[in-house]
């Protein structure tokens, strides 16, 4: 067992964990933060994407011990004070989700994308989300949602 | 899936990491960003007894200017490489190729040194390292030594590092003015590994190609240089015809595998076509 | 976050934002794998690493001694229970028992030989390695044609054959048509094996702790009602004691239209141990344990006159069943039996299907199920026929398709197409696509030998959906019906509950059903709750697959709501002291005709029905009604899909430059949801054309066993889609709807492959096998050039 301390969605916890425990399993099974789902075992699908110290990571490809001391934001912590993040709002408006299983990872990947590139082209959005697979939408409405969120975030920033 | 159990240490210095590795026996492994290694653990294709996490060793992170070379800490993430001003200015091919590695989330965790130490011939960065002729500084129980790239990649997933050595940093030479570059990656989907990739560095002066360095991805059990093409390009006219003629030799000396996605003869064909395109782009033709 | 609409405005037809989104966007989800119950145990399946072997010994004792392990079960414990096949397509179909844990033989890599139950998933997985199994290898049977040859090793030795069935259907007289033909074009097409890859892996939780012996089974399934029936039938657990819940379900595409061994195992193990158990597949485990799709060899021929008149189609297919029959494995190919004629008129039609056993993961319904295969073969051979005749492929199609004034039209396959307008959809698609402009560019590229050639692919498709009229299913030997049920309840406070037997997993039924009920009842959209996916609260249903939910389940909602209004009218008339016939009902209000001010709302009526203080004689309290709809016929969406690809003839790389489709799915309830369904279907159909393929090696191992090698496309691999609709309402249901869930997947695959072949036809290429990978395209060019094949 290894002692770790992690802040998840604003709440700091300390725990003893097996070194082999994946961050996503820690979130889901220890902390009950089940909003972050698991979609594969090869880190292809991106469903488990969270923000770690502000940048996107696949929480199935991070050991909990590697995340020691970090701040994690999951889909459950993205809405600040109950107000949806513009990306969440845009996914709703543009019908950027159907079954919703890829959505937590897709939304957080999009948040990361817009942090790096506030005004992405369609191609930049597609490439920026290439680590997140969706089987329902064909991605078009996801692209539209990210474009829409980019506009709204820029307007809000001005 | 869940990895099999293992012990874990997180040393804070290279020396401590080397000591931990030495004390951990033959199944002790170095853990970098883990982006290639963790999926192997999850699929239970690897059973390490001890993981030595070098991810927090300050000396192994970051990029510094060392005169005629950039020194990149082995644990510098792809994202840091990709967004670093020095890399953009002096080693543009590295930045361009790093941009094609995996996806943004993986690039936030995956490391430059990890990609090289993993020695996967299908990885993008080994061929780039080979084209640059980087030098790799490794630390072991007997101290540090420097390995030339040409001597680093030994076989499939195998480098010339000893199991008790840690890759500390990589010296990427600044090639100076007059060099153009291009990384041409050919893959079936954006997530897929390169069927073939071509890393081209070309020095052009006036109407001729002074020197060219061409590294090939996934054309054998290790990354390889397209030596015959390089030889044909040296001193050649900077014309499409000359580049095409030289690129026709790109597959010489390679031994690509046949697999699910491509047969060997197709890979050889791709190497010729993509080399022509990569060299052409690097030479501004 | 729920859209509202102005009073009086119609909800049906409006692109209302989905009610489903809020919890999905904030992580407040109820995926089956999220469940953690007190005392819950975890199951891990030990799966055969071999395709075919005798199992001579299974010893779990060492595993039982591992940390946290509670129990180990083998075939000796659980193997007497089998997965039933509910579609015995012929009386003599070979239907081997499919034990939920293998007893003496394993027949595909992934077959279950033991179940380990432990206090954590990690402990269960760890202990798998300690189960001692001895295998005696038997020969793998991988190739369908080899499997049918004399002397082939047998998948099921006791059956004496690898043939599962032969099933035939004819219309008109194909032999006569062929005799009359001036041209007969024959082709063999390969429908590669596909892995559905719903983003949510399968998961099942079973708790034996319920009232009076009830067990509750949560499953990531499309079909909770079917699971309940089959769980009862296969295990003997009394049906009334089984409650099945499909909570949030993350996509299915047919892969969760199943009753799986892990569901039965969970129920039995939970019962034996008296504790809740959970099993969730990892992705690579799911790639061998969850059904695969397609996998057919299609021999098709088209008979025609030189002027392009199509005389007949003959299709003979071999369909890979895999090692065992899942619930509708043998019937899946037959869903295409009436579709190889598509939208075309002809005189003769023949369809024959041979089901074949191999030592591979069982196949079953995958998005479109039978109809994509039919559409592909037909639309591909129409292009080949056009090339043979030197005709423009779109003109060949137009010459032969059913004209809009000819509806209703009974096809050569005996189906009555109620409505359609192929001319309108095609004209609109051509305009949006710039068909003539792209043809010009294509010619220019050909003329200058451009290394990047342009190809244009056409798919003018139709499908039969809205599965299905129960009587037709009976005629096909399917052992269940195709009806759907809904209940509509207006609660005392005037809010509404709609209970549906449909079981959504991404389709947006909560929103769409609310729209239908809102209009029918005249209540606000946001006042409606839709209840689904729980056999206790929605006891009757046939669930969601086959583009059936709206065309069957949606009609049930409409009918139930209309019955509620009928009852409310009686109560309102009583309250307003008038004849029911004197009331008009609009926007939720009953008004006495000709008497301004004499009115009451449906909400007020609901409260009267609740208090029951003053109801007319013979009217029972509460305001609710149900309806069970069994459709008379199928519905027939259609559309014209046009695809332009650029093929790099040097590398073989294909890039979709323009994808345009105009679908006619009749009336729509929510155009936003419809467009999303089309997009998703296109992505899956394009993925079959270009990227995805489940590959087995000669020993029967799945080579594409993870997402690293099974190439599900990302956003970066797919184009922008131009979509539009024409509207020819269905005449066979009151909403005029036809269904959209499978349209994109059915239509797009041949459009893309036709485009690839069209690009290369001047080079002598006449086919490229799917997926049209760069390697295959390049090889096709080399072969056509007479170069190294």
Cβ pair B274:C126 closer than 8 A: no
Q: Give the C-alpha separation, B14 to B34, whole Å.
A: 18
Q: Which of A5, A28, A30, A63 best tests the B interface by mutation, with the highest count of B CBs <10 A? A: A63
Residue C129, phi then psi, degrees to nearest 5 = -70, -15
Comparing C-alpha atoms, which of A101, B192, B195, A91 is closest to residue C714?
Answer: B192
- Neighbouring residues of A113: CB distance < 8 A, sequence distance ≥ 6: A120, A124, A125, A128, A129, A146, B104
Closest Cα of chain B to C125: distance in Å?
7
Cβ pair B2:A57 closer than 8 A: no
Query: Residues of C numbered 238-257 whose beta carbons fall under 8 angstroms of chain B's beta carbons: which are they?
Result: none
What is C438-506 written as a DSSP string?
HHHHHHHHHHTT-SEEEEEEEEEEE--BS---HHHHHHTT-SS---EEEEEEE-TTS-EEEEES---SS
Chains touching chain B, criterion 3+ CB pairs below 8 Å: A, C
Q: From B44, which residue of chain A is nearest by alpha-carbon distance?
A: A41
Closest Cα of chain C to A107: distance in Å?
8
Q: Give the C-alpha separation, A78 to C680, whole Å.
A: 27
Comparing C-alpha atoms, which of B148, B227, B214 is closest to residue B184?
Answer: B214
Question: What is the mean predicted confidence (pLDDT) over C423-436?
Answer: 98
pLDDT in tens, C552-580: 999 999 999 999 999 999 999 999 999 99
pLDDT greater than 80 at residue C619: yes
- Neighbouring residues of C736: CB distance < 8 A, sequence distance ≥ 6: C666, C667, C729, C730
Contact list in B for residue C717 (CB cut-off 8 A) is: 189-190
Query: Residues of B numbered 133-162 whose beta carbons fall under 8 angstroms of chain A's beta carbons: which are they?
Result: none
Give the 3-state secondary structure of residue C695.
Answer: coil
Instruction: Give the model's pLDDT for residue C7.
Output: 63
Residue B159, phi then psi, degrees to nearest 5 = -110, 175
Question: What is the mean predicted confidence (pLDDT) over B29-55?
Answer: 95
pLDDT in tens, C43-90: 999 999 999 999 999 999 999 999 999 999 999 999 999 999 999 999
pLDDT greater than 70 at residue B254: yes
Residue with tokens 């969850």: C290
Task: Give the closest of B189, B265, B274 to C717, CB-based.
Answer: B189
Q: Is residue C446 within 8 Å of C762, Cβ to Cβ?
A: yes
Residue with tokens 């079981």: C503
Q: Is residue A89 within 8 Å of A152, Cβ to Cβ?
A: yes
What is the token pair recorded at C710? 């099974």
Q: Apex CA C511: angle with CA C505 and CA C513, to 5°?
A: 95
Instruction: Give the model's pLDDT for residue C1.
Output: 52
Neighbours of C186 (CB within 10 A): 12
Confirm or reject contact between C282 and chain A (CB < 8 A): yes
Q: Which of A61, A68, A74 best tests the B interface by mutation, with the highest count of B CBs <10 A? A: A61
pLDDT in tens, A92-108: 999 999 999 999 999 99
A–B: how many Cβ contacts below 8 A?
87
Helices (H) and strands (E) in chain C, counts: 20, 28
pLDDT greater than 60 at residue A87: yes
Give the 3-state secondary structure of residue B68.
Answer: coil
A–C: how many Cβ contacts below 8 A?
182
Q: From A99, which residue of chain C is nearest by alpha-carbon distance?
A: C506
pLDDT greater than 70 at residue B260: yes
Q: From B109, which residue of chain A is nearest by alpha-carbon distance?
A: A57
pLDDT greater than 60 at residue B71: yes
Q: Is residue C19 within 8 Å of C511, Cβ to Cβ?
A: yes
Question: What is the mean predicted confidence (pLDDT) over A60-84?
Answer: 95
pLDDT in tens, C709-768: 999 999 999 999 999 999 999 999 999 999 898 999 999 999 999 999 999 999 999 999
Q: How confident is the model at residue C223 (pLDDT cuts 50, 70, 90)?
A: very high
Question: What is the mean predicted confidence (pLDDT) over C302-312?
Answer: 98
Closest Cα of chain C to B204: distance in Å?
26
Cα B101 to chain centroid distance, Å, stands at 10
Question: What is the mean predicted confidence (pLDDT) over C487-507?
Answer: 96
Instruction: Give the model's pLDDT for residue C788.
Output: 45
Instruction: Give the model's pLDDT for residue C468.
Output: 81
Q: How many CA atoms lie within 13 A of C626 on its CB side?
A: 12
Q: From C719, which residue of chain A is nearest by alpha-carbon distance?
A: A140
Closest Cα of chain C to A10: distance in Å?
16
Cβ pair A42:B8 closer than 8 A: no
Q: Apex CA C725: angle with CA C722 and CA C728, to 5°?
A: 165
Percent of chain C at pLDDT > 90 equals 94
Handedness of CA C43, C48, C54, C57 (dihedral sign): negative
Closest Cα of chain B to C362: distance in Å?
22
pLDDT greater than 90 at residue A158: no
Query: Residues of A numbered 32-91 whose beta carbons fall under 8 angstroms of chain C's beta carbons: which are they?
Result: 32-42, 44-45, 47, 74-76, 78-79, 84, 88, 91
Comparing C-alpha atoms, which of C327, C355, C339, C337 is closest to residue C255?
Answer: C327
pLDDT in tens, C637-668: 999 999 999 999 999 999 999 999 999 999 99
Cβ pair A138:C744 closer than 8 A: yes
Handedness of CA C475, C476, C478, C482 (dihedral sign): negative
Instruction: Give the model's pLDDT for residue B1.
Output: 84
Q: Is residue C144 within 8 Å of C696, Cβ to Cβ?
A: no
Query: Residues of A numbered 69-108 whose beta carbons fall under 8 angstroms of chain B's beta carbons: which are they?
Result: none
Closest Cα of chain B to C122: distance in Å?
6
Question: What is the mean predicted confidence (pLDDT) over B186-201?
Answer: 97
pLDDT in tens, C582-605: 999 999 999 999 999 999 999 999
What rounded mean pLDDT belongs to chain C? 96
Q: Give the C-alpha separation, C677 to A118, whole Å.
A: 29
Confirm or reject contact between B253 and chain A (CB < 8 A): no
Instruction: Give the model's pLDDT for residue B276.
Output: 98
Beta strand pairing status for C528-531 and C496-500? parallel
Confirm or reject contact between B39 and chain A (CB < 8 A): yes
Confirm or reject contact between C25 and chain A (CB < 8 A): yes
pLDDT greater than 50 at residue C789: no
Peptide bond between residue C408 and the one before it cis (omega within 30 degrees of 0): yes
Q: How confident is the model at residue A81 (pLDDT cuts 50, 70, 90)?
A: confident
Chains touching chain A, criterion 3+ CB pairs below 8 Å: B, C
Contact list in C for residue B270 (CB cut-off 8 A) is: 651
Instruction: Give the model's pLDDT for residue C213.
Output: 81
The b/e string for C665-699 (b: 16+ C-beta within 10 A; e otherwise) is bbbbbbebbbbbbbbbbbbbbbbbbbbbbbebeee
Cβ pair B190:C285 closer than 8 A: no
Confirm or reject contact between C452 and chain B (CB < 8 A): no
Q: Is residue B276 within 8 Å of B247, Cβ to Cβ?
A: yes
pLDDT greater than 80 at residue C168: yes
ipTM of the complex: 0.98
Cα C585 to chain centroid distance, Å, stands at 39
Instruction: Give the model's pLDDT for residue C547.
Output: 84
Comparing C-alpha atoms, which of C321, C320, C352 is closest to residue C337?
Answer: C352
Instruction: Give the model's pLDDT for residue C467.
Output: 82
Residue C177, phi then psi, degrees to nearest 5 = -65, -40
Closest Cα of chain C to B201: distance in Å?
22
Q: Give the C-alpha separation, B143 to A58, whole Å.
A: 35
Confirm or reject contact between C29 and chain A (CB < 8 A): yes
Contact list in A for residue B6 (CB cut-off 8 A) is: 19-20
Q: Give the C-alpha separation, C673 to C585, whole Å.
A: 29
Question: What is the mean predicted confidence (pLDDT) over A59-78?
Answer: 98
Q: Give the C-alpha separation, C556 to C560, whole Å.
A: 6
Q: Give the C-alpha separation, C265 to C276, whole Å.
A: 12
Question: What is the mean predicted confidence (pLDDT) over B90-109?
Answer: 98
Q: Quick one: DSSP state of residue B279? A: H
pLDDT greater than 60 at residue C385: yes
Cβ pair C24:A103 closer than 8 A: yes
Confirm or reject contact between B38 and chain A (CB < 8 A): yes
Task: Give the closest of A19, A20, A43 to B35, CB-based.
Answer: A43
* Beta pairing partners, C352: C168, C316
Q: Give the C-alpha separation, C463 to C336, whole Å.
A: 9
What is C360-384 written as a DSSP string?
SPPB---TTTTHHHHHHHHHHHHHH
Q: Is residue B220 within 8 Å of B157, Cβ to Cβ?
A: no
pLDDT in tens, B195-223: 999 999 999 998 999 999 999 999 999 99
Cβ pair C714:B190 closer than 8 A: yes
């Amino acid at each position: 067992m290894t002692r770790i301390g992690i802040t998840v969605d604003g709440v700091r916890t300390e725990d003893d964990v097996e070194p082999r425990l994946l961050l996503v399993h820690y979130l889901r099974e220890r902390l009950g933060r089940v909003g972050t789902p698991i979609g594969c075992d090869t880190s292809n699908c991106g469903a488990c994407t969270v923000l770690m110290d502000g940048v996107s990571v696949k929480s199935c490809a991070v050991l909990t011990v590697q995340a020691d001391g970090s701040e994690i934001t999951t889909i459950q912590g993205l809405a600040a004070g109950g107000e949806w993040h513009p990306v969440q709002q845009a996914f709703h408006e543009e019908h950027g989700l159907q079954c919703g299983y890829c959505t937590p990872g897709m939304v957080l990947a999009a948040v990361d994308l817009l942090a790096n590139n506030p005004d992405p082209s369609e191609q930049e959005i597609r490439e920026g989300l290439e680590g997140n697979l969706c089987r329902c939408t064909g991605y078009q409405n996801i692209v539209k949602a990210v474009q829409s969120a980019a506009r709204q975030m820029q307007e809000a920033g001005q | 899936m869940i990895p099999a159990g293992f012990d874990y240490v997180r040393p804070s210095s290279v020396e401590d990491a080397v000591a931990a590795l030495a004390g951990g026996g033959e199944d002790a492994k170095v853990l970098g960003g883990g982006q290639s290694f963790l999926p192997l653990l999850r699929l239970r294709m690897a059973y390490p007894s001890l993981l030595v996490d070098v991810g927090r060793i300050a000396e192994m992170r970051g990029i510094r200017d060392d005169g005629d070379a950039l020194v990149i800490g082995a644990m510098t993430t792809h994202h840091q490489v990709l967004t670093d001003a020095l890399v953009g200015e002096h080693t543009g091919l590295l930045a361009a190729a790093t941009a094609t590695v995996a996806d943004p989330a993986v690039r936030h965790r995956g490391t430059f040194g990890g990609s090289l130490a993993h020695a996967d011939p299908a990885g993008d960065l080994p061929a780039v390292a080979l084209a640059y002729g980087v030098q790799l500084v490794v630390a072991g129980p007997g101290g540090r030594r420097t390995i030339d790239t040409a001597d680093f990649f030994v076989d499939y997933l195998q480098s010339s590092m000893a199991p008790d050595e840690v890759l500390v940093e990589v010296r990427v030479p600044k090639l100076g003015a007059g060099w153009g570059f291009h990384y041409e990656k050919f893959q079936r989907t954006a997530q897929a590994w390169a069927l073939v990739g071509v890393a081209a560095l070309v020095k052009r002066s006036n109407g001729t190609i002074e020197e060219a360095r061409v590294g090939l991805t996934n054309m054998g059990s290790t990354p390889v240089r397209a030596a015959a093409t390089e030889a044909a390009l040296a001193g050649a006219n900077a014309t499409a015809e000359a580049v095409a003629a030289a690129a026709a030799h790109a597959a010489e000396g390679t031994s690509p595998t046949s697999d699910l996605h491509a047969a060997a003869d197709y890979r050889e064909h791709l190497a010729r076509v993509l080399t022509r395109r990569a060299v052409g782009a690097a030479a501004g033709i | 976050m729920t859209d509202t609409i102005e009073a009086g405005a119609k909800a049906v037809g409006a692109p209302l934002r989905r009610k489903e989104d809020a919890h999905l966007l904030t992580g407040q989800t109820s995926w089956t794998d999220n469940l953690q119950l007190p005392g819950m145990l975890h199951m891990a399946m030990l799966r055969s690493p071999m395709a075919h072997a005798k199992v001579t010994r299974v010893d779990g004792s060492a595993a039982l001694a591992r940390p946290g392990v509670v129990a180990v079960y083998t075939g000796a414990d659980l193997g007497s229970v089998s997965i039933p096949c509910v579609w015995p397509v012929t009386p003599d179909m070979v239907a081997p028992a499919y034990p939920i844990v293998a007893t003496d033989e394993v027949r595909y890599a992934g077959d279950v030989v033991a179940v380990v139950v432990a206090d954590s998933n990690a402990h269960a997985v760890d202990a798998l390695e300690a189960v001692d199994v001895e295998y005696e290898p038997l020969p793998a049977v991988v190739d369908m044609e080899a499997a049918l040859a004399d002397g082939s090793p047998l998948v099921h030795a006791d059956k004496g054959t690898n043939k599962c069935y032969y099933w035939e259907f004819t219309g008109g007289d194909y032999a006569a048509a062929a005799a009359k033909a001036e041209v007969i074009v024959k082709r063999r097409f390969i429908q590669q094996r596909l892995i559905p890859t719903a983003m949510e892996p399968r998961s099942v939780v079973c708790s034996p702790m319920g009232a009076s012996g009830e067990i509750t089974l949560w499953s990531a399934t499309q079909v909770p009602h079917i699971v309940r029936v089959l769980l009862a039938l296969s295990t003997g657990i009394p049906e009334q004691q089984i409650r099945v819940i499909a909570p949030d379900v993350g996509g299915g595409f047919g892969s969760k239209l199943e009753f799986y061994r892990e569901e039965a195992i969970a129920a039995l193990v939970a019962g034996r141990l008296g504790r809740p158990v959970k099993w969730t597949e990892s992705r690579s485990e799911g790639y061998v344990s969850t059904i695969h799709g397609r996998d057919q060899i299609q021999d098709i021929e088209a008979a025609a006159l030189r002027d392009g008149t199509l005389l007949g189609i003959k299709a003979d297919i071999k369909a890979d069943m895999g090692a065992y029959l899942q619930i509708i494995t043998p019937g899946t190919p037959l869903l295409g039996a009436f579709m190889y004629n598509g939208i075309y008129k002809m005189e003769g039609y023949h369809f024959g299907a041979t089901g074949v056993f191999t030592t591979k993961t069982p196949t079953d319904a995958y998005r479109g199920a039978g109809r994509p295969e039919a559409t592909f073969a037909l639309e591909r051979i129409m292009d080949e026929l056009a090339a043979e005749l030197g005709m423009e492929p779109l003109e060949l199609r137009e010459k032969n398709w059913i004209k809009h004034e000819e509806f209703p039209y009974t096809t050569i396959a005996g189906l009555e197409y109620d409505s359609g307008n192929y001319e309108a959809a095609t004209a609109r698609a051509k305009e949006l696509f710039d068909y003539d402009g792209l043809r010009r560019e294509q010619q220019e590229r050909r003329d200058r030998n451009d290394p990047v050639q342009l190809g244009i692919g056409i798919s003018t498709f139709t499908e039969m959906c809205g599965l299905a009229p129960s009587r037709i299913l009976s005629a096909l030997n399917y052992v269940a019906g195709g009806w759907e049920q809904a209940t509509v309840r207006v609660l005392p406070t005037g809010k509404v509950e709609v209970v549906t037997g449909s079981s959504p997993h991404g389709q947006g039924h909560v929103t769409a059903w609310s729209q239908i009920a809102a209009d029918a009842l005249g209540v606000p959209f946001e006042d409606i709750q839709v209840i689904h996916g729980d056999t206790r609260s929605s006891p009757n249903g046939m669930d969601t697959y086959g583009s059936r939910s709206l065309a069957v389940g949606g009609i049930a909602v409409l009918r139930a709501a209309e019955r509620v209004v009928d009852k409310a009218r009686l109560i309102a008339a009583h309250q307003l002291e008038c004849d029911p016939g004197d009331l008009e009902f609009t926007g939720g209000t009953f008004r006495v005709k000709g008497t301004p001010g004499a009115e009451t709302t449906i909400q007020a009526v609901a409260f009267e029905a609740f208090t029951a203080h003053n109801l007319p004689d013979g009217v029972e309290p509460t305001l609710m009604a149900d309806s069970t709809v069994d459709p008379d016929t199928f519905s027939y969406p259609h559309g014209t899909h046009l695809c332009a690809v650029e093929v790099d003839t040097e590398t073989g790389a294909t890039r979709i430059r323009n994808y345009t489709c105009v679908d006619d799915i009749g009336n729509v309830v929510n155009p936003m949801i419809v467009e999303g369904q089309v997009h998703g279907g296109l992505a899956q159909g394009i993925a079959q054309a270009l990227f995805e393929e489940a590959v087995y090696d000669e020993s029967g191992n799945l080579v594409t066993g993870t997402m690293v090698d099974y190439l599900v496309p990302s956003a970066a691999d797919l184009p922008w889609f131009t979509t539009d609709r024409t509207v020819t309402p269905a005449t066979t249901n009151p909403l005029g709807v036809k269904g959209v869930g499978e349209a994109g997947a059915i239509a797009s695959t041949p459009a893309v492959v036709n485009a690839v072949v069209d690009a290369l036809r001047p080079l002598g290429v006449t086919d490229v096998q799917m997926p049209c990978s760069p390697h295959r395209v390049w090889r096709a060019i080399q072969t056509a050039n007479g170069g190294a094949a």
